[in-house]
């Protein structure tokens, strides 16, 4: 007969086992900080110990070990569960953060938005994408080699500050890589939801790792919104207004980096689906 106290511990571990399973998949595309890795490994070990324990004398040692990692487990759980919300908030401001970042980075960016420190947000991400531009373009070229010459033109145009040229080119490649994968352009929207048609396709085939990242694709955002809906968003960076000549002031470094962030983000998602 299993001691009642052990049953209680087993029940208490249930949410952490679930988080461990999610995080184990998620860490394949998001580098975890060392503490988070230890949590995942320890939670897995603790789950095995629960199944193996049959006598009450082991419960005290197990309880001590469980409490040691309980706080870190809660922390990881909060980070994982909060990521979709943060990614959606970022997309409302035109940023689509690439997936190979620590969860704590998403958390920090979400904090800047909630505290309305938008200038700091833009400065932080502008610096990030400027410093990593070469690596991002290299990565895109490796993933989509038949489009490498187009990505190099985007890089060249951005570095030469020809933002009014680099931005439309970037948006066209967002459509392009989507078409390569789904035979559907990213900016072609479902007439009922006004979301990209590929959103439904991604949801159908996504796993838990991707589901954590696709919140910007399952909600309306300024880059894909109808012109009549743009008043609902804090910025007015809109693909339709840019390509149809309505927006005459889009050609800025900030907007160019935001569009590049969308291109890299979508490539991350599509690559993970493969």
Cα(174)–Cα(73) distance, integer angstroms = 37
How many CB atoms are closer than 10 A to CB 211? 16
Per the listing, tokens 């290299």 go with 138
* pLDDT at residue 3, rounded to an integer: 47
Q: Report the residue count for the chain.
A: 274
3-state secondary structure of 246: coil
- Least confident segment among 56-65, 70-79, 134-143: 56-65
3-state secondary structure of 137: helix
- The answer, yes or no, to whether residue 239 has pLDDT greater than 80, is yes
Say what angle helices 148-159 and 163-182 make with each other, to 10 degrees: 160
Q: Tell me the pLDDT tens digit for each residue of 87-128.
A: 999 999 999 998 777 678 888 999 999 999 999 999 999 999
pTM over 0.85: no
Cα(133)–Cα(261) distance, integer angstroms = 10
- The answer, yes or no, to whether residue 29 has pLDDT greater than 50, is no
Query: What are φ and ψ of residue 196, in 5° steps?
Result: -55, 140
Whole-angstrom CA distances from 178 to 142, 147, 167, 225, 241 are: 16, 12, 17, 18, 21
> Which residues, listed in sequence order, are joined to residue 189 by a DSSP beta bridge?
196
* pLDDT at residue 43, rounded to an integer: 55
* pLDDT at residue 50, rounded to an integer: 56
Q: Tell me the pLDDT tens digit for each residue of 171-199.
A: 999 999 999 999 999 999 888 888 898 98
How does the average pLDDT of the chain come out, rounded? 81
Per the listing, tokens 């690596």 go with 135
Q: Please check whether residue 242 is in contact with residue 168, taking contact to mean a CB–CB distance below 8 angstroms.
A: yes
* pLDDT at residue 10, rounded to an integer: 55
Q: Please check whether residue 221 is in contact with residue 39, taking contact to mean a CB–CB distance below 8 angstroms.
A: no
Q: Please check whether residue 263 is in contact with residue 170, taking contact to mean a CB–CB distance below 8 angstroms.
A: yes
Report the percent of the chain where pLDDT is more than 90. 53
Tell me the Cα Rg of the chain: 22
Cα(98)–Cα(222) distance, integer angstroms = 18
Q: Tell me the pLDDT tens digit for each residue of 208-223.
A: 567 778 899 989 999 9
- The answer, yes or no, to whether residue 68 has pLDDT greater than 60, is no
Cα(98)–Cα(259) distance, integer angstroms = 12
* pLDDT at residue 34, rounded to an integer: 45
* pLDDT at residue 244, rounded to an integer: 96
Residue 207's pLDDT band (cuts 50, 70, 90): low
Q: Tell me the pLDDT tens digit for each residue of 2-27.
A: 445 555 555 655 655 555 555 555 55
* Domain positions in the chain: 4-79, 82-273
Q: Please check whether residue 267 is in contact with residue 135, taking contact to mean a CB–CB distance below 8 angstroms.
A: no
- The answer, yes or no, to whether residue 41 has pLDDT greater than 90, is no
Token output for 4: 């009642």
Cα(92)–Cα(232) distance, integer angstroms = 10
Report the percent of the chain where pLDDT is more than 70. 69
Token output for 162: 């020809």
- The answer, yes or no, to whether residue 75 has pLDDT greater than 90, is no
Cα(232)–Cα(141) distance, integer angstroms = 35
- The answer, yes or no, to whether residue 42 has pLDDT greater than 70, is no
3-state secondary structure of 189: strand
Query: Which tops the pLDDT comparison, 273 or 216?
Result: 216
Helices (H), 93-162: 103-114, 118-131, 133-143, 148-159
Query: Which tops the pLDDT comparison, 196 or 162?
Result: 162
């Amino acid at each position: 007969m299993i001691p009642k106290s052990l049953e209680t511990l087993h029940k208490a571990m249930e949410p952490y086992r679930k988080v461990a399973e999610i995080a184990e998949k998620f860490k394949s595309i998001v580098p975890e900080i060392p503490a988070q890795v230890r949590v995942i490994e320890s939670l897995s070990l603790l789950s095995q110990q629960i199944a193996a324990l049959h006598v009450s004398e082991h419960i005290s040692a197990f309880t001590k070990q469980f409490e040691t990692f309980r706080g870190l487990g809660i922390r990881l759980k909060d980070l994982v569960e909060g990521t979709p919300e943060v990614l959606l908030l970022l997309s409302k401001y035109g940023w689509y953060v690439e997936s190979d970042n620590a969860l704590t980075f998403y958390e920090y960016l979400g904090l800047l938005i909630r505290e309305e420190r938008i200038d700091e947000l833009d400065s932080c991400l502008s610096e990030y994408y400027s410093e990593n531009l070469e690596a991002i373009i290299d990565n895109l070229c490796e993933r989509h080699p038949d489009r490498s010459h187009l990505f190099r033109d985007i890089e060249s145009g951005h570095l030469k500050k020809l933002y009014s040229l680099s931005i439309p080119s970037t948006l066209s490649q967002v459509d392009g890589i989507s078409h390569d994968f789904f035979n559907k352009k990213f900016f072609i929207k479902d007439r009922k939801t006004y979301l990209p048609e590929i959103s439904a396709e991604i949801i159908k085939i996504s796993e838990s790792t991707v589901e954590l990242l696709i919140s910007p694709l399952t909600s309306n955002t300024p880059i894909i919104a109808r012109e009549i809906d743009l008043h609902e968003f804090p910025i007015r960076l809109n693909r339709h207004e840019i390509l149809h000549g309505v927006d005459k002031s889009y050609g800025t470094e900030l907007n160019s980096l935001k569009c590049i962030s969308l291109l890299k983000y979508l490539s991350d998602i599509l690559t993970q689906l493969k």
